[in-house]
Amino acid sequence: MSQHGEAQLPAVLLLLLVLAVSWVLWSGLYKPLLLGLGVFSCLLSVYMALRMGFFRNQAMMSLLPRLPGYWWWLLREIARSSVEVARIILKPSMPISPTLVELASQADSEAGQVILGNSITLSPGTVTLDLHEGKLLVHCLTRDTARELQAGEVSRRAAALERN
Amino acid sequence: MIDVVLDVISWVLLALGGACVLIGGIGGLRLPNFYTRIHAASLTDTMATLLIFTGMMLQSGFSLPTMKLFAIMLFLLLTGPTATYALANAALLSGMKPDSGVERDRGASGGVQ
């Protein structure tokens, strides 16, 4: 926690500006009370981001431009696995075969690993149970989804996000 | 003409989203134990959120509410899996075995059937 002093001032001010602009645009009301609340919540958010070490981690910023493409791919994955899970739930025989998979993350940064873990949880049929030192423990609804996960496409794409 | 098309598309999306919520609920009742039920919840969490919010965005057209809806959807999709992870991780750390296969949770079977 001693690195607080090293936080870059420009980055802090940029975040403050972005927050303030989005508050003003999205509220659309310019009463003193609401503006005061806006100032309060912007400052609080920046303080919390500071405490969480947001500014020490520059990797976050550099992967932002590549996110939309990743999201698009993830969206199609989610749609596909949703249909799969819905079909399993509605089938009278309910053919589930719960499987645990241990997955080594190919992403090195914390941000990349969190994106990988959350992407896995986001797609129905797979849930990240534990993420520790680059190793993910994933619970899968069926053996097929487990096999697909081990083929490693999610992991590869999440790792590709942080390549420079 | 274009209005009707947009209306129909958004109705279809909203109806599909509602179906996802329903199937998620059915899954929550039918699936045998905690870890498998999480999968049913994630159907509601993810797919229903996407479909219902997209449907609502089509209803509100190009306007500020659409941006707000988009932001809400984004935040739900970012925080949802984090909450699910917290839940699943807490269960794992408290000693609930995930490899219990298709058995029912002890004490959890009574209420359902």
Lowest mean pLDDT among A60-64, A69-73, A79-83: A60-64
Nearest-CA distance B39 → chain A (Å)? 5
Q: Write down which residue in A37, A56, A75 finishes a domain.
A: A56
Question: If pLDDT is split at 50, 70 and 90, which confidence band does A61 have?
Answer: low
State the amino acid at position B109 in one-letter form.
S
- A115, A158 Cβ separation under 8 angstroms: yes
The DSSP bridge partners found for residue A135 are A104, A132
Are residues A121 and A79 part of one domain?
yes
Are residues A157 and A77 part of one domain?
yes
Question: If pLDDT is split at 50, 70 and 90, which confidence band does B3 have?
Answer: confident
Tell me what pLDDT residue A60 has: 64
DSSP-derived secondary structure letter, A126: E
Cα-Cα-Cα-Cα dihedral of B75, B81, B83, B84, to 10°?
150
Per-residue model confidence as pLDDT tens digits over A13-27: 888 998 998 888 888
Choose among A118, A124, A139: nearest Cβ to B43.
Answer: A124
Which chain A residues are closer than 8 Å to B80 by Cβ? 122
Does some domain include residue A3?
Answer: no
Are residues A74 and A48 part of one domain?
no
Does some domain include residue A91?
Answer: yes
Domain coverage including residue A25? 9-56
Mean pLDDT for all residues in chain A: 83
Nearest-CA distance A164 → chain B (Å)? 24
Are residues A85 and A115 part of one domain?
yes
B67–A118 C-beta distance less than 8 A: no
Per-residue model confidence as pLDDT tens digits over A92-126: 888 888 888 888 888 777 778 888 888 989 888 88
**What is d(CA B105, CA B88) in angstroms, rounded to the nearest whole number?**
15
For A141, the closest chain B residue by CA position comes to B36
Nearest-CA distance B58 → chain A (Å)? 18
Is the pLDDT at A149 greater than 80? The verdict is: yes
Domain ranges of chain B: 2-97
- B27, B39 Cβ separation under 8 angstroms: yes
Per-residue model confidence as pLDDT tens digits over B66-98: 888 998 999 999 899 999 999 999 988 888 777
Are residues A81 and A36 part of one domain?
no
Are residues A72 and A147 part of one domain?
yes
ipTM value: 0.79
Are residues A153 and A84 part of one domain?
yes
- A113, A161 Cβ separation under 8 angstroms: no
**What is d(CA A23, CA B96) in angstroms, rounded to the nearest whole number?**
43
Does some domain include residue A1?
Answer: no
Are residues A137 and A86 part of one domain?
yes
For chain A, how many structural domains are there in total?
A: 2
Are residues A101 and A33 part of one domain?
no
Are residues A114 and A80 part of one domain?
yes
Are residues A136 and A93 part of one domain?
yes
Is the pLDDT at A3 greater than 60? The verdict is: no
Are residues A23 and A100 part of one domain?
no
**What is d(CA B20, CA A83) in angstroms, rounded to the nearest whole number?**
9
When pLDDT is averaged across residues A157-164 and rounded to a whole number, the result is 77
B102–A98 C-beta distance less than 8 A: yes
Q: Evaluate if pTM is beyond 0.90.
A: no
When pLDDT is averaged across residues B33-48 and rounded to a whole number, the result is 88
